[in-house]
Amino acid sequence: MLERIPDAPAGVDALKAVGSVTKDDYETVVEPIVDEARREGRRVRVLCEFGPEFDSFTPGAAWEDLKVGMGAMRLFEGCAVVTDTEWIRRATRLGRFLAPCPVRVFDVDDRDEALRWLAALPEGPGLSHRLDPDSQVLVAEIEAPLRVQDFDALAQTADTWLDTHDELAGIVVHTRDFPGWENITSLLRHLRFVRDHHRRVRRVALAADSRLADLMPHLANHFVRAELRHFDYDDLDDAVAWAAGASGPTDGD
């Protein structure tokens, strides 16, 4: 079953798995959280604890987990998985590439730290991202002025991938109008991300309004190894395919 953890900070939904987790647990505990967030127009920060009291997921629970995740993915603002169970830790680290929000794994003894991390996440990230393991492309969607936390989450995803792979096939930056940085600290964190990763990226694509094409020379000054190309904002799929290594239209076609 899934139990609510009562000592969670405001804005954080904390759950603890005890015994076997079933489909009914998702229907009576998880789905109401998602439905309430939709009604209130807010995003979800969730902590899931799998301690020694946890035994297993039933097959119905596994399917319900996938169904809820696919239907509510964009609602999630952060997820902390608290467990000492190795297979859950490994599965979470692999699966977080596909998550649109920061996902971190904590030891059971570090539950308070996990709650503090969730409570401190910025509302409405300026940058959301996803990494497709098949194409090996990291797509960054920019919607608001960029913050330090945005680059911390981006670096966490990239570094987890690069721990077990030689490189990323590509990075795609997707934005209608580049909103800039929240402050000088976030700009410096942006530069540090580029410094730490530019030699392990083959291609960088900017899928943006044509007025942002003048950013390409600036990017080229930092991604010294990568091939760069500009695409129109609406040509995101072409940009991802090119960054993955497929041939595509040349800049300006």
Give the model's pLDDT for residue 35.
Answer: 86
Q: Give percent helix, percent strand, percent coil of the chain, each to the nearest 5.
A: 45, 30, 25
Does this model's pTM top 0.95? My answer is no
Residue 168 — very low, low, confident or very high, per pLDDT cuts 50/70/90?
A: very high
Is residue 215 predicted with pLDDT exceeding 60? no
Which pLDDT tens digit goes with each residue over 184-213? Answer: 878 888 889 988 998 899 999 989 875 655
The pLDDT mean for the chain works out to 83
Q: For the chain, give every domain's residue range.
A: 2-120, 127-244
Which CATH number fits the domain 127-244, given the four candidates 3.30.1490.20, 3.40.50.2000, 3.30.750.24, 2.60.40.1180? 3.30.750.24
Give the model's pLDDT for residue 226.
Answer: 78
Cα(187)–Cα(196) distance, integer angstroms: 14
243: which 2 tokens?
């960054």
Label each residue of 216-237 as H, E or C.
HHHHHCCCCCCEEEEECHHHHH
Which pLDDT tens digit goes with each residue over 49-104? Answer: 999 999 988 877 766 675 666 566 667 878 899 999 999 999 888 877 666 677 89
**Domain 2-120 matches domain 127-244 at the CATH topology level:** yes
Spatial neighbors of 137 by CB under 8 A, at least 6 apart, are 131, 168, 169, 170, 171, 172, 240, 243, 244
Q: How many other β-carbons are positioned within 10 Å of the β-carbon of residue 92?
A: 19
Q: Could you give the count of Cα atoms lying within 13 Å of 124 in the half-sphere of its Cβ?
A: 5
- DSSP class of residue 182 equals S
Cα(206)–Cα(215) distance, integer angstroms: 9
Report the CATH fold assignment for 2-120. Answer: Transcription Regulator spoIIAA (3.30.750)
Host H or E run for residue 73: none
Note whether 194 and 223 are within 8 A (CB): yes
Spatial neighbors of 93 by CB under 8 A, at least 6 apart, are 105, 160
252: which 2 tokens?
């300006």
- 155 closest CA partner among 186, 181, 116, 124: 186
Cα(177)–Cα(116) distance, integer angstroms: 33
